[in-house]
């Protein structure tokens, strides 16, 4: 019996020792946490303590002055999160927030954030455009600044000479599909007897914004009647998205250029899908003349 009691007392003593050690460790950890908090406060300041009227930035040695309102215009961007109030901001000795990036194009980043709706960027040097795009990607701003589906170009024009015929459903030997973009030629005819579901794919030199299509109508019963604008991210014949349906005026009623609008697309490939013609008398083909596209190249705005 005495042996058992002695063993229990020894076990209790061990447990008490371990409890005391844990308490000491906990105290030490708490002290260390407090020390780290104090050190952290010396090195940084929360955004709510920043001067909201003026923020000084040092971007790779280039100095800028702006506001928190501007920097948080796009909340989910790198800058938006950085100055959101959720994270501490570290200052350099001269009171600036340092960002370790090349500051060459940062003024364009700020100008976009100051007025996203009106911001436009045009430059003839593709390298400059690519450099700005890379910077916008780092800051999480590539989509709102450059994404094809987000912005309407400020200046549009007829994109003559900016495209080629990529492929087509069929063509009559003496009137090839290339005629539709060559104003010195006459017209394109589908192969004889092909009077429905004929198409031509147009490929642009680069991604474009298109808001109008012009087609010149000739006085023939085989002039195209119902047709559809389709787009694709590539030249995949099975991956075409319908954009809008149109009906051309009958060739017997109109022989001038018709302009079709009411849509906006951004793409490199456009397919005009011709469903039928104005036949039947003598309309053993589908005829299309002088196709033009109105819009802008996407890297020019």
Q: At 43, is the pLDDT very low, low, confident or very high (cuts 50, 70, 90)?
A: very low
- Round to whole Å and give the CA distance between 224 and 278: 6
Is pLDDT above 70 for 146? yes
- Round to whole Å and give the CA distance between 169 and 274: 10
Of 172, 188, 266, the closest CA to residue 227 belongs to 188
Cα-based torsion angle of the residue sequence 100, 105, 106, 107 in order, rounded to the nearest 10 degrees:
150
Is pLDDT above 80 for 143? yes
Whole-model pTM: value is 0.55
Q: Which segment, 5-9, 22-26, 155-159, is predicted with the most confidence on average?
A: 155-159
pLDDT of residue 19: 75
pLDDT greater at residue 213 or residue 206: 213
pLDDT greater at residue 199 or residue 142: 199
Q: What average pLDDT does range 138-145 have in this prediction?
A: 89
**Burial status of residue 212 (CB atoms within 10 A of its CB: 0-12, 13-18, 19 or more):** middle
Average predicted confidence (pLDDT) for the chain: 83
pLDDT of residue 42: 47
Is pLDDT above 90 for 154? no
Q: At 273, is the pLDDT very low, low, confident or very high (cuts 50, 70, 90)?
A: very high
Q: What average pLDDT does range 49-75 have in this prediction?
A: 86
Q: At 156, is the pLDDT very low, low, confident or very high (cuts 50, 70, 90)?
A: confident
pLDDT of residue 136: 93
Q: What average pLDDT does range 254-259 have in this prediction?
A: 82
pLDDT of residue 179: 94
> Per-residue pLDDT tens for 102-118?
999 999 999 999 988 77
* Residue 189 Cα to chain centre, angstroms: 37
pLDDT of residue 149: 47
């Amino acid at each position: 019996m005495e042996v058992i009691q002695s063993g229990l007392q020894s076990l209790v003593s061990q447990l008490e020792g371990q409890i005391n050690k844990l308490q000491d460790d906990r105290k030490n950890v708490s002290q260390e946490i407090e020390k780290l908090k104090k050190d952290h406060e010396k090195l940084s300041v929360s955004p709510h303590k920043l001067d909201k009227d003026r923020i000084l930035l040092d971007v790779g040695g280039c100095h800028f002055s702006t506001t928190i309102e501007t920097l948080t215009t796009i909340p989910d961007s790198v800058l938006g999160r950085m100055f959101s109030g959720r994270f501490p901001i570290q200052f350099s000795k001269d009171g600036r927030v340092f960002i370790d990036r090349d500051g060459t194009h940062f003024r364009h980043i700020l100008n976009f954030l100051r007025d996203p709706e009106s911001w436009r960027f045009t430059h003839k040097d593709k390298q400059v455009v690519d450099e700005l795009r890379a910077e916008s990607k780092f800051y999480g701003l590539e989509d709102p600044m450059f994404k094809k589906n987000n912005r309407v170009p400020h200046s549009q024009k007829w994109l003559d000479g900016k495209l080629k015929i990529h492929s087509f459903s069929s063509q009559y030997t003496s009137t090839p599909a290339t005629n539709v973009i060559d104003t010195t030629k006459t017209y394109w005819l589908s192969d004889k007897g092909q009077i429905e579901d004929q198409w031509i794919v147009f490929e642009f030199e680069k991604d474009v914004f298109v808001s109008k299509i012009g087609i010149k109508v000739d006085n023939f019963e085989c002039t195209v009647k119902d047709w559809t604008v389709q787009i694709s991210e590539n030249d995949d014949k099975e991956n075409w998205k319908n954009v809008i349906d149109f009906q051309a005026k009958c060739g017997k009623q109109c022989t001038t250029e018709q302009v079709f609008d009411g849509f906006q697309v951004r793409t490199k490939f456009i397919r005009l899908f011709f469903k039928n013609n104005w036949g039947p008398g003598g309309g053993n083909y589908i005829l299309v003349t002088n196709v033009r596209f109105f819009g802008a190249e996407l890297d020019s705005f």
